[in-house]
């Protein structure tokens, strides 16, 4: 059986292990969407991961979902990211930027603009704003001529990511954000070539990935998906057909990997594994659910054919997670109150495992 600590060739990168640090929003960016020295320390502390995928990075101001998140659409943002990627590389790591367009999961108080989406249907729930949670607003439905511009935003951000020193990018196609909204059967009620049939609903995702591959190459491009996840009220009426069709198109683009969350039944996920012959990163447990991914869940999915395993929350409190997993050391608990509070507490203050004499 594949071992979690075997090397893996991912595109042009040789990963020293199969442990992936999954993307996690931490809202520690400075004004203007700038990365900070603390962010450089945070990611460098976790550079023993086979691959780090950064927190979601907006490709445009209108694509920003939460306040306090970083961007990759200005020269200043590129410059701010360079010390982060340099610190990871100096510690022997590899890092992809996750490009995340929030679509309708945003608020004018955050961006100064009305959010956009495939249709004028609001997300379900409250969104984060600078003054606290507020009901998700009704987005403006994108005009047919605008849709392509937003697909190209991912490619533009990818170019900037490579310029900033990232080893590649992951398009956030999961968790109810813009790509996921286009895949949806209830957030996307369009009657043009981007809505209705499975072929039409995957079109935006395929165009965004295709543009990114053209911009930075397939070996530097991945995508994250959450089949049937239901985040922010997104529904998908035909998960196996929808995602099998999408994976077929992605295979033609020769992308580096697909990153799938365990948001559907295992039988469905195994069907998608069979439909996807390329590199697969698997997040074995439902995101933000009561259970966290551990060694047992990782080994289970490696046995089912995953190539790499994504660990999320465990990396927050365990900068040395790879060594803890390798040596079967205790996994420290995370303080959820510090997830989004800002500052270095609960961000840079978790220690490596302390061996006793």
Residue pair 105/85 in contact by the 8 Å Cβ criterion: no
From 1, 107, 5, select the one nearest 64 (Cα to Cα). 107
How does DSSP assign 189-230, residue by residue?
---STTSSSHHHHTHHHHHHHHHHHHHH-GGGEEEEE-TT--
Distance CA 166, CA 294 (A): 27
Query: Cα-Cα-Cα-Cα dihedral of 261, 340, 158, 253, to 10°?
Result: 10
Those residues whose C-beta lies under 8 Å from the C-beta of residue 227, and which sit 6 or more positions away, are 236, 239, 242, 243, 260, 261, 263, 264, 268, 269, 272
- Residue 221 CA to residue 68 CA, distance in Å, equals 25
Across 52-78, b (16+ Cβ under 10 Å) vs e yields bbbbbbbbbebbbbbbbbbbbbeeebb
Catalytic residue among 42, 177, 243, 347: 177
- Give CA angle at 188 (183, 192), nearest 5°: 100
**Residue 145, number of CB atoms within 10 A of its CB:** 7
Neighbours of 310 (CB within 10 A): 28
Q: Identify which of 45, 30, 20 has the alpha carbon closest to the alpha carbon of residue 350.
A: 45
Active-site residue, 177 included: yes
Residue reference for tokens 């996994």: 331
- The answer to whether the CB of 283 falls within 8 A of the CB of 315 is no
Report yes or no: 102 and 177 within 8 Å, Cβ to Cβ: yes
Bridge partners, 140 (sequence order): 116
Catalytic residues: 177
């Amino acid at each position: 059986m594949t071992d979690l600590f075997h090397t893996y060739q991912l595109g042009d990168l040789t990963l020293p292990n199969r442990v992936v640090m999954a993307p996690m929003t931490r809202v520690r960016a400075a004004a203007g969407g700038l990365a900070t020295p603390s962010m450089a320390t945070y990611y460098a502390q976790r550079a023993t991961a086979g691959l780090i995928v950064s927190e979601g990075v907006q490709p445009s101001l209108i694509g920003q979902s939460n306040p306090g998140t970083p961007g990759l659409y200005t020269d200043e943002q590129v410059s701010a990211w360079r010390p982060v990627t340099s610190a990871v590389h100096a510690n022997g790591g590899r890092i992809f930027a996750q490009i995340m367009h929030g679509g309708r999961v945003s608020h004018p108080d955050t961006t100064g603009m009305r959010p956009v989406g495939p249709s004028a249907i609001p997300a379900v729930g409250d969104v984060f704003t600078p003054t606290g949670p507020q009901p998700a607003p009704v987005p403006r439905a994108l005009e047919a001529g605008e849709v392509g511009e937003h697909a190209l935003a991912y490619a533009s951000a990818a170019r900037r990511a490579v310029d900033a020193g990232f080893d590649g990018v992951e398009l956030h196609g999961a968790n109810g954000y813009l790509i996921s909204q286009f895949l949806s059967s209830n957030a996307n009620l369009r009657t043009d070539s981007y809505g209705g049939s499975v072929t039409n609903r995957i079109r935006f995702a395929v165009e965004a990935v295709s543009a990114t591959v053209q911009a930075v190459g397939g070996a530097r491009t991945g995508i994250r998906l959450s089949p049937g996840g239901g985040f922010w009220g997104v529904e998908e009426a035909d998960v196996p057909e929808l995602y099998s069709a999408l994976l077929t198109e992605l295979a033609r683009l020769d992308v580096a990997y697909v990153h799938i969350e365990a948001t559907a039944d295992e039988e469905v996920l195994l069907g998608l594994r069979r439909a996807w012959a390329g590199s697969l990163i698997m997040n074995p447990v439902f995101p933000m659910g009561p259970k966290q991914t551990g060694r047992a869940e990782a080994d289970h999915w490696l046995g089912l054919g995953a190539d790499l395993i994504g660990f999320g929350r465990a990396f927050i409190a365990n900068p040395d997670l790879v060594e803890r997993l390798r040596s079967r050391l205790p996994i420290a608990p995370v303080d959820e109150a510090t997830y989004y509070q800002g500052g270095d507490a609960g961000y840079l203050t978790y220690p490596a495992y302390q061996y006793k004499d």
